[in-house]
């Protein structure tokens, strides 16, 4: 296997380890009387309802359907366009495809139907909530007075601001009727949330904006973030008005205490994916290390950091000896100012690191584990020590492409785009660097 083949195999191994269906099946069982989640038992003699939202919603819902067979009373599944093909073929489960990363009318429909379902759960019933990445945009219900258009405008401003996902979700929670634990408040019965984490460090309150989790952030935090990223003055009037009401104590805060009827469980994460890739690399005869599972920052700068370590291994056999595999997980961002081309954080990461590894016998792959990097059909990019030379021969000004965030076009010109199609999972982004023996 050449280094490129190794990188792709390790990526596939990581994606398999993060498979949401298997993650749920490992965590959930039913003995006819009780639901058992990671060894903890929950009485389930009443009705069992299902609410799933996120890019992995269908796979997670399939696992629950297989475990519970005919016990699901009613369900709502909300996922991204193109991701519903493998949803449970159950007439009692309504499936909705909606917009991501920009929410749309179907996101609003999913939020309304999900909240209605939650309100039908009786004191002796169970609501299984399946949460995965993308849930913030896909499961949407603005607070009274905020229109869908105003919510979308706010979301667009945040996505382009360079704010981290945790900060974006802090704002989302404070203009939503279902996020920040507000969904859980509406349920009279038992709530069991099974969560596939796509947020660095796995903070429960940040994943899909924490609809069933208490929230440590406040309206003051939301306001500070909006000011920090120069978004406040650009916000729709209705959003500013609602946040100002919250600052004055006139609007409901997010959930601030643990509810006795609610339990939340993480069943899958980027850490699991990285560990699986490391194990496979070692089986293939490589010295392997997970550099971090919490890499953050601007994509082009994070790429230079990882690239410097790749070069250190290639040229000096440290911090580990060749043949080597370096693995990193996390969530990097792109701050867009002015004119912008086409791309995504992982494509920009790949284009940037191509400069740092130029001339080396090394391959670096950067991928969004959901299969979609930014508003493109690519999951990321895969580059090697000759990519920069190929780009220059193709007439691509790499620095200009990075400046205007046009990584898709640049990588496409030299066959360096990585296209996986929808993977059915979402556990952050992943970088795999393969450094064989010899420079």
Residues 285 and 193 in one domain: no
- Cα separation of 220 and 207, whole Å? 20
User: 267, 293, 309: which is the final residue of a domain?
Assistant: 267
Q: What is the 3-state secondary structure (H, E, C) of 229-257?
A: CCCHHHCCHHHHHHHHHHHCCCCCCCCCC
Is the pLDDT reported for residue 141 higher than 90? yes
Our count of domains for the chain comes to 2
Q: Specify the pTM.
A: 0.78
Residue 82's CB is within 10 A of a number of other CB atoms, namely 11
Average the pLDDT over 339-349 and give the result. 94
Q: pLDDT per residue over 170-214, tens digit each?
A: 998 999 999 999 999 999 999 999 999 988 888 899 888 899 999
Residue 303, pLDDT above cutoff 70: yes
pLDDT attached to residue 294: 93
- pLDDT per residue over 13-60, tens digit each? 999 888 999 999 989 999 989 999 999 999 999 999 999 999 889 999
Per-residue pLDDT band at 66 (split at 50, 70, 90): very high
Percent of the chain at pLDDT > 70 equals: 100
Whether residue 285 sits in one domain with residue 424: yes
Note whether 205 and 317 are same-domain residues. Answer: no
Q: Does some domain include residue 294?
A: yes
Quickly state the pLDDT bin for 165 (edges 50, 70, 90): confident
What percent of the chain is predicted at pLDDT more than 90?
Answer: 82
Most confident of 7-16, 96-105, 151-160, 193-202: 7-16
Tell me how long the chain is: 439
Tell me, yes or no, whether 290 and 193 share the same domain.
Answer: no
Quick one: pLDDT at residue 384? 98
Residue 263 sits in the same domain as residue 287: no
Dig out the tokens for 192 from the structure. Answer: 């069991």
Q: Are residues 263 and 323 in the same domain?
A: no
* Same domain assignment for residues 195 and 330: no
What pLDDT does 203 receive?
A: 87
In a domain, 169, yes or no: no
Question: Does residue 23 lie in a domain region?
Answer: no
- In angstroms, the CA 157 to CA 152 distance is 9
> In sequence order, what DSSP letters do the residues of 63-127 get, joined into one string?
HHHHHHTT-EEEEEEEEETT--TTS---TTEEEEEE-SSS--HHHHHHHHHHHHHHHH--TT-EE
The pLDDT of residue 264 is 97
Give residue-wise pLDDT tens across range 265-294: 999 899 989 999 999 999 999 999 999 999
Instruction: Identify whether 222 is part of a domain.
Output: no
CATH of the domain at 127: 3.40.50.10180
What is the band of 439 on the pLDDT scale with cuts at 50, 70, 90?
low
Among 119-123, 213-217, 337-341, where is mean pLDDT lowest?
337-341
Residues 52, 53, 58, 59, CA torsion sign: negative
92 plus 136 within the same structural domain: yes
What is the tens place of the pLDDT at every residue in 216-258? 999 999 999 999 999 999 999 999 999 999 999 999 999 999 9
The reply to whether 244 falls in a domain is no
DSSP 127-160: EEEEE-TTHHHHS--BPTT--HHHHHHHHHHHHH
Q: Are residues 100 and 39 in the same domain?
A: yes
Q: What is the pLDDT of residue 1?
A: 73
Residue 156 binned pLDDT confidence (cut-offs 50, 70, 90): confident
CATH number at residue 300: 3.40.1480.10
Tell me: do 260 and 311 sit in the same domain. no
Mean pLDDT of the region 296-324: 97
> How does residue 329 score in pLDDT terms, banded at 50, 70 and 90?
very high
Read off the pLDDT of residues 368-404 as tens digits, 9 standing for 90 and up: 998 989 999 999 999 999 999 999 999 999 999 999 9
Q: Which domain holds residue 383?
A: 270-435
Within 10 A of 141 (CB to CB), how many other CB atoms are there?
A: 23
């Amino acid at each position: 296997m050449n280094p490129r083949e190794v990188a792709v195999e390790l990526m596939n191994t990581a994606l398999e380890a993060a498979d949401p269906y298997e993650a749920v099946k490992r965590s959930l069982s039913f003995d006819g009387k009780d639901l058992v989640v990671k060894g903890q038992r929950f009485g389930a003699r009443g009705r069992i309802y299902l609410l799933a939202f996120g890019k992995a919603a269908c796979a997670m819902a399939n696992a629950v359907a297989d475990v519970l067979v005919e016990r699901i009373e009613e369900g709502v599944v909300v996922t991204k366009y193109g991701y519903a093909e493998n949803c449970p073929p159950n007439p009692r489960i309504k499936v909705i495809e909606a917009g991501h990363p920009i929410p749309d009318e179907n996101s609003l429909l999913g939020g309304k139907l999900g909240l209605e379902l939650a309100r039908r759960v009786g004191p002796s019933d169970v609501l299984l909530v399946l949460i995965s990445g993308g849930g913030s945009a896909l499961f949407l219900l603005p607070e009274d007075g905020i229109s869908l258009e105003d919510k979308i405008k706010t979301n667009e401003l945040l996505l382009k601001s360079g704010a981290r996902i945790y900060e974006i979700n802090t704002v989302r929670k404070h203009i939503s009727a279902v996020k920040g634990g507000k969904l859980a408040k509406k349920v009279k019965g038992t709530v069991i949330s099974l969560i596939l984490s796509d947020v660095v460090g796995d903070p429960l309150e940040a994943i899909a904006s924490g609809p069933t989790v208490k929230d440590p952030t406040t309206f003051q935090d939301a306001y500070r973030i909006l000011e920090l990223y120069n978004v406040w003055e650009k916000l729709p009037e209705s959003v500013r008005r609602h946040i100002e009401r919250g600052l004055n104590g006139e609007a409901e805060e997010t959930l601030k205490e643990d509810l006795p009827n609610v339990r939340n469980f993480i069943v899958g994460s980027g850490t699991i994916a990285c560990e699986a890739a490391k194990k496979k690399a070692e089986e293939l005869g490589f010295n392997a290390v997970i550099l971090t599972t919490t890499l953050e920052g601007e994509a082009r700068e994070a790429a230079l950091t990882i690239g410097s370590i790749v070069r250190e291994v290639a040229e000096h056999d440290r911090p580990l000896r060749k043949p080597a595999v370096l693995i990193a997980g996390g969530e990097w961002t792109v701050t867009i100012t002015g004119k912008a081309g086409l791309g995504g954080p992982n494509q920009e990461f790949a284009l940037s690191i191509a400069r740092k590894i130029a001339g080396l016998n090394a391959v670096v792959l950067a991928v969004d584990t959901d299969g979609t990097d930014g508003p493109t059909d690519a999951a990321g990019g895969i580059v090697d020590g000759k990519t920069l030379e190929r780009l220059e021969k193709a007439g691509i000004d790499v620095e200009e492409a990075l400046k205007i965030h046009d990584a898709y076009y640049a990588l496409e010109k030299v066959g360096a785009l990585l296209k996986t199609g929808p993977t059915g999972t979402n556990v952050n982004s992943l970088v795999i660097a393969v450094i064989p023996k010899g420079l």
